[in-house]
Structure 1
Amino acid sequence: MTTDALVLDAAAQDLLFREARTANTFTDEPVSDEQVQAIYELVKFGPTAMNQQPLRVVLVRSAEARERLVNHLGEGNKAKTTSAPLTAILAVDNEFHEELPTVFPHFPGAKDYFAGDRDGRVASAAMNGALQAGYFIVGVRAAGLAAGPMTGYDAEGINKEFFADGEHSVLAVVNIGKPGDNAWYPRSPRLAYDEVVTTV
C-alpha cells in the first residue's frame, strides 16, 4: 500500500487529507483564539520563496464585521458564513518585503530586490500567500476542525471593506469550526497518479 511509504501514520493521513472535507455547515461550538494561534504557530513553518511571509489573517468575530463580509459573498456562500462559528479572511500583504531583513537576514539585499518592482512583488505575494493559505487549511484540520475555504466573493469589495490601506489583497475566505449536519457534498473525483506524474 502507498500509505505504508509515508512516515505519517494512517490516522493522521486521514485527518489531514483523505477523510478531510470542505465543510458547508457547522455546529455552534466556538473556535477560540488559542486554537487559531496554535494553528498559526504550526503552519508558519511551511516553506515559501526567500522565506516570504505575506499571509495576513483577519478573524471575523463580531456580528457587525460578519455582516460587512457577507455582503460581499456570493449567494451560495452567505448562509454558511453567517452560521459558522469563525470566519477568517486570508489576505496577502503586498508590502511583505519590508519584513525581509528580519525573516531573510542572510540576504541583505532582499528588501531592495522587491522594493522597486511592485508588479513582481504583488505576483510573488500572491504565489507565496497561496502556499501559506494551503498550509493554513491543513493546520485547521490538524486542530481537529473543518475548514470551508471559499473564493466566491467580490474581491474588490472585500479589499475596500477590510483593507482600506490598499496594500493588502484578499486570497480566500475560510469558515472554521466543527462540521454540522450534512456538512459534506459528495467527494469529487481526483486525477490518478499516472495522469499527473511523469518522469524525464
Structure 2
Amino acid sequence: MNSPLNDLALDQIFRTARTYRRSADAWLDKPVSDELLRQAYNLAKLGPTSANCQPMRVVFVRSAEAKEKLKPALSDTNLAQTMAAPATAIVAADHDFYKHLPRLYKEENAVPWFEGKEESIAETAFRNSSLQGAYLIIALRALGLDCGPMSGFHKPSVDKAFFAGTDVKSNFLINIGYGNPEVLRAREERFDFDEACSIA
C-alpha cells in the first residue's frame, strides 16, 4: 500500500500527460468505451471529500443528440475541440448532497451542518466537486485516456439543458479521448517548489 508508483505510471499521470485542446485536430478518431468511463468514475469516487459528501455528478456527453444540447453553451474557442472529442464530462455539483449524508457519513449526524445554510452548501459542493473532478482526471489518465479540462462555457445554459428540475449545478468540463500528439506545443512553465511552497 505504501510503495511509490514507478516512473512509467508517474509519467503517464503527471510528467508526460498533457492537456489536449485548441482545435478539432486535438483528438484521434478513436472511441472511448462506456466501460472505461465507468472504471474511471469508480476510481475517482474513492478520493476523499468532506464528511464523504461526494457532491460530484457527471454527465458523459457522447451522443450526437447530447452534443447538440451542449453546443450552444460553449465558447467559440472551445467549440471545435469539444465537438470532436469522443466524450465530454460535465462535472457538476449536487447542492442537495447533504441529504445523502445519513447514508454516506455514519460517524455522526452531519445534516445539520448544512441544512438551511446556503453559503456552506454552495462552498462545500463547489470545493468537493472540484476535488472529485481532479480525481476523475487522474483516473482517466491512469486508464490511458487523455483529457482537456476547461471552463469557457455558459453554466446556466448547461444546467438548463442537462440538470433541469434538480439542484445540480455545472462546475467545469473535461474533454476525453486519445490525444493527437501532433497538436501539442511546448509545455508551459511551472513554479519550482521554493517559489510555491514552504515547510513550516
- Residues 1:136 and 2:127 aligned together: no
Tell whether the 8 Å contact from 1:72 to 1:158 is kept in structure 2 after alignment.
Answer: yes
Q: Note the C-alpha offset of 1:88.
A: 1.1
Q: Which residue of 5, 13, 17 maps to 1:16? A: 13
Q: Give the CA RMSD over aligned residues.
A: 1.3
Identity %: 39
User: What TM-score, normalized to structure 1?
Assistant: 0.93
Give 1:95's aligned residue: 96
Q: Note the C-alpha offset of 1:185.
A: 3.2
Q: Note the C-alpha offset of 1:55.
A: 0.4
Q: Separation in 2 of the partners of 1:182 and 1:71?
A: 28
User: What TM-score, normalized to structure 2?
Assistant: 0.93
Q: Note the C-alpha offset of 1:181.
A: 5.2
Cα deviation code 1:111-170 (max 9, x no counterpart) = 122111122111100001110010000111011010111101111211122111251111
Q: Note the C-alpha offset of 1:75.
A: 0.6
- Which runs of structure 2 are paired with 1:101-120 in the superposition (5 Å)? 101-107=102-108, 109-120=109-120
Aligned residues, how many? Answer: 194
Which has the larger displacement, 162-171 or 121-130?
A: 162-171
Cα deviation code 1:27-48 (max 9, x no counterpart) = 1211111101111111111111
Q: Separation in 2 of the partners of 1:186 and 1:67?
A: 33
Q: Separation in 2 of the partners of 1:81 and 1:7?
A: 35
- Residues 1:41 and 2:38 aligned together: no
**Structure 2 unpaired stretches of 5+:** none
Cα deviation code 1:54-85 (max 9, x no counterpart) = 00010112212101212111111100111111
**Structure 1 unpaired stretches of 5+:** 1-5
